Structure 1
Amino acid sequence: MEVVVFYAIYIGAALLFTVAAVFAVGGALHAGIRKPEGFLVFFVLPMVVVMAATTLASGRNLMFPDLQLLGGGAEPGGWAKWLQRLATLFFLAASMERLAHFAFSPRDRNRPVGLMIAFAGCWAGMVALPAAFGARPSLSHEYFYSLVIGLAALTTSEQGARTALRVARNALALFILGGLVLLVVKRDLVMAPYLGGLIPAFSWRYYGLSTGPNAMGPLCVLALLCLRAVPFQSRALQRSAVFLALLSLVLTQSKSSWLAGIACWVAMAAVSDSGRLADWLKDARKRPWVQLVLSLTIVGLAMLLLAVGGGLGQGKIERFLATRAGSDLMTLTGRNEIWAIALETFRANPWFGYGPTIWDPLFRMQIGVPAAFHAHNQFINVLAASGVVGALGFLAYLLVLLRRLWPRRGAYQGLVVGLLVLLLMRSISEVPFNLSGFGSESLAQMLLLMVLAGASAARPTASEQPTQR
């Protein structure tokens, strides 16, 4: 009898969700008539709200970081789970409205049809085929979320992309501000002890309202990119937002995020200011300064090579490697062990990999590494989860993405280049191109797809830059 009641409740809930989804999509289609941009352009706002709600509902205490490590970060509470489900329903309804609008609208040369096909092919190679033919076949409705939302993101118009950037800027700024407020009100929720940092006399690491420092750091970098591309009209507000984002980024002590931020800034500056840089280098009045900088650089490199070759400082290096920080550097914080496990899994299942359920609790228990929630490298993770088929689909997707991006590299003051650099830098130690689900890690990729879809091939002039609000 209990089994009958259980399945009756399960089927009833599924039917109720289906009816709600039909009404949500229908309502989105009706509302979309009055709003040509659609509602998917607001996707960053519900995402950051869900992230904040998940952290607040978790009741975590970062004074005990080992428990957080074993638990995999903050888990959503009851009300946070329902908020997450409502956000998912919103994403799907808004995406279906955009896809329906795209299907029945007149053809446009700027449509990224090739990128849409490559994205769908990448999803098929990385998710669908491994889920069917991998070492551990599985089926879940969550696998389809990234496909539907990603394709809908690629239907974004130019005005929609500008709106998405403004929404992302505002939402991320409020998210960062909320974390810093909690730093004063409830420090144990957002700050954890840390002994391996680079900030002198500061043995703490900032989590913010995200799941961890390595998740908060990229969000701060993303906020800075949006602030550069679409600055606030008020100078005081713009400077305050930049200062808070930089402060949060520094407090995370996420070295990978620091490097990614520098790389993004250099890439955006090189693209948007390349003409001015060339003019500055050609200016005869600046030539002595250029020669001085080059000479000092050559002298510094020569002194460094001399010091290394002569064995100077070898004792200090050995003492550093004997510390915990040095050990983490040599073993890449233990990631070499996870990489070895992932590559061994790939060799055991070379064509379709293990499947999307890799790194779930069962797999982590089998390998004896409870804290391994992914391979800590995008490319190794693709091989382990989806094999050669997934790797080929992912490579094709990246190539088409680059082909679409290159003629538009100057759009939004080089933001498209900055977003791609951020994703590629994250790929070294994280998995930002995950397509088996849709979560906070998908934020940067979805925003890149929206901006690429809305950007025109010609480099925008000053009058074509995003409007400031």
Structure 2
Amino acid sequence: MQPASQLVAAEPIAGRPLSQPLAYTVAVCIPVLAAASLLSPSICDIALAILLLISAVVIWHDPRQLRRPVLWLAFAWMAFVALSALWAQSQGVPGHALRNWHKHMFIAFGPLIALSGAAAWQRLQWRIDRLLLLFLAGLCGGAMVLLIKNGAIGMIAELRPTDSMMGPINRNFAALACGLAIIAITGLIGHLVTAPKLRRSMAVAVGLPLAIALAALLTLLVLLHSRGGYVGTSAGLAVWLISFVMAQAASSGRSRRSLLIAMLLLLAIGALAFGGYVAMQLSGRSLIEGSTGGASQLALQMLHGQFDAAYATANKFEARVQLLVLAADLFHQRPWLGWGPDAWDLLRTFAPTAELRDLNQFHNGYAQFLVCFGVIGAALMAVYLAALLSAAIQRRRTAADRLPPAMLASALALLTLLLVFNVSETVLLVKSAASTMMMLAALAALPIATATRVRGSDLG
């Protein structure tokens, strides 16, 4: 019997609960889910349902996996969201709580997806990093198809910026897809460069088109004029660089060479970030719009619940600051359980100006989360995230097939992109971002590897 602390990371899955066809089904569903999260929500949901059904097979075969605290916390979050929706509907809260509650579930599916992924890889004798490799490949492919279908090539060729739409899609959604693809390609190139058994000819054949696509996507990111996408992607690339160099130096011991590479890459990312900032400024798109004077006064008014005065002070700020005042007001009215999982009609009902009533989100995922679920929901989510972190640390200390530096860096970079972008957009309710966060949760919650020898994850 393992000690309680080990149960967070979990025992290995007993035996081989999946047949080879089911294992390959998992391997196909992961990139399909990633690509479809950008291209076809219904196909994404079908792929997710298949993975969850296979996870149920794993649990049926090995009920010990139900002893994992992180899994029960995920179930607790699902139950809380469902009860919150029922409560909001019964209380007549503005909106359709039973229509949108499922959008908050994705992050809780991560520990379940971890079971189907680990069992499939155990059956196929693959290293676990191929789980993230397949997801990155699907994410990259789906984003490229989405952007090309909506005029990305023309925008890049003409260097034509946009402040509204990119074809029929919102430029912020396009910037999210662009940022996800940039980090995915960076991770794939990093894997090609560092994979020890990969043939050089194949690395060049795959890496060169990826490098060209990366340059095009970086140009497109600047042209889209999305502040959240620009800052989030720049932060994600910086985190990728730092974590890759640290992990590579720790695993190989070549600290001097790693430091040189880090300096060159840091200069490249710095030049990119500065160039993008200058390009935005010259085209009239500032990272901060409007005056910043009176920010401390506004913060004090919100803290003291003086919302009439706060609304008046916020009028000289841009609309997103005014949305934060509204979010604080709504949170102050229902601080414990919030207003339920659907915030769409809250803006239409309570916004003080017509400009805000036309919006469908609070443009800050953290503020919207507190409005929807209150302090109790935030506390439950904090405990769940802490359990995921504990499981990830425990697994990294004990597992035989840890993520290699390029994949670990990619996971941390994707997390950074989403956390930063969530400051300016309610990004985790977008299916591509929600699916990415679900996969990151799955990676954190993976069971400890068995002693079975696994084959390498090189593509050659």
TM-score range, shorter chain: 0.5 to 0.7
Say whether the 8 Å CA contact 2:347–2:360 is kept in structure 1. Answer: no
Give the corresponding residue for 2:444: 452
Residue type of the alignment partner of 1:138: A
Give the superposition deviation at 1:361.
4.8
User: Are residues 235 and 167 of structure 1, via their aligned partners in 2, closer, same or farther at CA, if it must alter by over 3 Å?
Assistant: same
Residue 442 of structure 1 and its aligned partner are, at CA, apart by: 1.1
Q: Partner amino acid for 2:112?
A: A
After superposition, what is the alpha-carbon deviation per residue over 1:317-361, rounded to whole angstroms, capped at 9, x for unaligned? xxx89x762652756964212211111111111111111111x25
Q: Does residue 269 in structure 1 map to residue 245 in structure 2?
A: yes
Structure 1 match to 2:25: 39
| 1:442 and 2:410 matched | no
Aligned partner of 1:337 in structure 2 is 322
Q: Secondary structure at the match of 1:262?
A: helix
1:97 to 46, 54, 61: 54
CA separation of 1:50/1:278 partners in 2, compared to 1, >3 Å: closer, same or farther?
A: closer
Q: How far does residue 386 in structure 1 lie from its aligned partner after superposition?
A: 0.4
Does the 8 Å contact 1:92/1:149 carry over to 2? no
Partner Cα distance (1:327, 1:230) in 2: 36
Residues 132, 217 of structure 1: CA spacing in aligned structure 2 closer, same or farther, 3 A cutoff? same
State how far apart, in whole Å, the 1-side matches of 2:286 and 2:176 are.
20
Structure 1 residue ranges without an equivalent (≥5) = 1-30, 54-83, 197-202, 291-319
* Cα shift readout 1:422-461 (whole Å, capped 9, x = no counterpart): 3433333334555xxx722212212212323447489xx9
What are the equivalent positions in structure 2 for 1:325-404 lying under 5 Å apart?
325=286, 328=289, 334-358=319-343, 360-361=344-345, 363-364=347-348, 366-367=350-351, 368=354, 369-370=356-357, 372-404=359-391
* Residues 1:255 and 2:230 aligned together: yes
- What letter matches 1:115 in structure 2? V
Residue 425 (str. 1) matches residue 420 (str. 2) = yes
Taking a change above 3 Å as real, the CA distance of residues 164 and 388 of structure 1, as seen in their structure-2 partners, is same
| Range 271-280 or range 218-227, more displaced | 271-280
Once the two structures are superposed, what CA deviation does each residue of 1:251-286 show, in whole Å capped at 9, x if it has no partner?
A: 1123222222222332333234346678549x9xx9
1:171 to 138, 163, 174: 138
Find the residue that maps to 1:448 and give its secondary structure: helix
Deviations 1:271-310 (A, max 9, x none): 34346678549x9xx9xxx9xxxxxxxxxxxxxxxxxxxx
Give the drift of 1:96: 1.8
Of 204, 212, 217, which aligns to 1:243? Answer: 212
Contact 2:85 2:101 (C-alpha < 8 Å) held by counterparts: no
Q: What is the aligned-residue identity percentage?
A: 16
Please state how far the C-alpha of 1:395 moved relative to its aligned partner: 1.0
Deviation at 1:205, TM superposition (A): 7.6
Paired positions, count: 358
| CA–CA distance in structure 1, aligned partners of residues 380 and 18 of structure 2 | 33
3-state DSSP of counterpart to 2:404: helix
Tell me the amino acid that sits aligned with residue 131 of structure 1: A
- C-alpha contact 2:71 2:112 (8 A) present in aligned 1: no
Q: CA 1:432 to 1:158, structure 2 compared with 1: closer, same or farther past 3 Å? A: farther
Paired residue for 1:411? 403
Give the match for residue 457 of structure 2. Answer: 466
Match of 2:185 in 1: 224
- Paired with 1:209 and 1:338, the residues of 2 have a C-alpha distance of 19
SS of equivalent to 1:466: coil
Q: Could you tell me whether the CA contact under 8 Å between 1:115 and 1:401 is conserved in 2?
A: yes
Note the residue ranges of structure 2 that are not aligned, 5 or more in a row. Answer: 1-16, 122-127, 223-228, 264-280, 293-316, 397-401
* Structure number with larger C-alpha Rg: 1
